[in-house]
Amino acid sequence: MKTIKILVIMLVLLAFVGCSPKPQQGEYIIIGALLPLTGDGSDEGLRALNGLQLAKEEINERGGIMGKMLDIIVLNDRGDEEYIVQQYNKLMERGVAAIIGSSYSGPTIALAGASERDRIPVISPTASNPIVTLGRRNVFRSIFIDDYQAEVMAYFAYQSLGAETAVVFINQDFDTYIQAASFFTESFTALGGHIIAEELFSSEEEFPELLRKYAANPPDVIFCPEDFVPAAILVNTAHEIGFNDTYLLGSDAWDGLLTYVYNPQAMERAYYSAPFSFDDDTPEVVQFVRDYFNFFSQMPLTGSAAAYTCVYILAEAITIAGSTNWDDIVSAMKTMELDTLLGPISFDENNNPSINVYVIQIKDGQYSTFEKLSLRDLHEQSGR
């Protein structure tokens, strides 16, 4: 299986950089991308790669950007904070106009730090840690931040599910998950909910012991911002122990866990936040899903949609700027308003968009939208 996966990656990369003449300034608008194409995060990286490929094909079929063809040079960052900086330097040598990457917050923070001295525009598809963009003029993202989605999930738990008690599971090895958990706790408490406990862990092997502590008197919800593979283990384990009346809630990093949940009944009370859902009935999403399925023979998840959106954001910014000058592109991104696959996007003072949050449920073996929420609307309803 590993051999097949490596071959697939090589073939896709050839489609990007091996089937066209070597990009030259003047002939192409060249964008770089850094994604985890090998290692534990490769599923997310490959989804993003698909999104880049589809956007590139569409833009070039429509005439490119300012009459020039778009080329995307994709390098594997391995999900490694040191290696991504090395790969960043290689992209800089190629004279790219902007960089898309990475998929996870840790490597993206390292990329953001390296890029600040050069001032090149960087936009991440799915890195949600606020630190990624905080105080950085040139670094953007296409999705919401952890604070935003954690607050929405607290509202969802308290108002939509009627939850009054919660236990929060926190992976103590990742700052981004610690911060998301903190915002959920703060928001849930402010609404009137009660946090029974915050449980720290370092490995999914600790889930059985942690869950059994609450088996006799289970909370209404367990919130656990985590990657989709450990999240699937949590869902499976909770089902096996018998948490039949407790809701399991997660963050956007849960997108993809269906592949790893072996008992469909375990998903009946599990929900997570996402900036995209392929069952949305807006014309933009319907068209994207159709094209994506025709191109890749699979349904798109957030990583694909967000990377696709990043390409269009950069294409619009370059068009507004009328050049590939980095400062001009950044200035255009800071003031632009663009209707995208993820909804209308404009960037705040920290280069973050305020977009809808889809609460995703896996129903009948399929991802589906349970509720679509906006933090702005929730604040208006509560008078905040």
Q: What is the pLDDT of residues 3-14, one digit of tens each?
A: 334 444 444 444
Residue 323 burial (10 A CB sphere; 0-12, 13-18, 19+) = middle
Kindly list the distances between the CA atom of residue 112 and the CA atoms of 14, 106, 306, in Å, as whole numbers in the listed order: 27, 10, 18
* pLDDT beyond 80 at 356: yes
- Specify the CATH number for 146-274+358-382; select among 3.40.50.300, 3.30.2320.30, 3.40.50.2300, 3.30.300.20: 3.40.50.2300
Share of residues in the chain with pLDDT > 70 (%): 91
Question: CA angle 53-110-103, nearest 5°?
Answer: 30
Q: Which among 106, 98, 179, 174 is positioned nearest to 140, based on CA atoms?
A: 98
The domains spanning 2-143+281-353 and 146-274+358-382 adopt the same CATH topology: yes
Residues in a beta bridge with 35 = 76
CA–CA separation, 303 and 5 (whole Å)? 18
Q: Which pair of tokens denotes residue 218?
A: 């289970």
- The yes/no answer on whether domain 2-143+281-353 falls in CATH 3.40.50.2300 is yes
Give pLDDT tens digits for 178-231: 999 999 999 999 999 999 999 999 999 999 999 999 999 999 999 999 999 999
CA–CA separation, 123 and 140 (whole Å)? 4
Backbone angles phi, psi at 242, to 5 degrees: 110, 30
Q: Which among 155, 127, 122 is positioned nearest to 379, based on CA atoms?
A: 155
At 137, the pLDDT band (50, 70, 90 cuts) reads very high
Output the average pLDDT for the chain: 91
At 136, the pLDDT band (50, 70, 90 cuts) reads very high
Residues comprising the chain, all counted: 384
Q: In the predicted model, what is the mean pLDDT of residues 297-324?
A: 97
Residue in the structure block whose two tokens are 């008992």: 263
* pLDDT beyond 70 at 315: yes
Indicate the range of 19-23, 50-54, 171-175, 372-376 predicted with least confidence.
19-23
Residue in the structure block whose two tokens are 């406990």: 197
Indicate the range of 129-133, 232-236, 346-350, 360-364 predicted with least confidence.
360-364
Q: Where are the domains of the chain?
A: 2-143+281-353, 146-274+358-382
At 22, the pLDDT band (50, 70, 90 cuts) reads very low
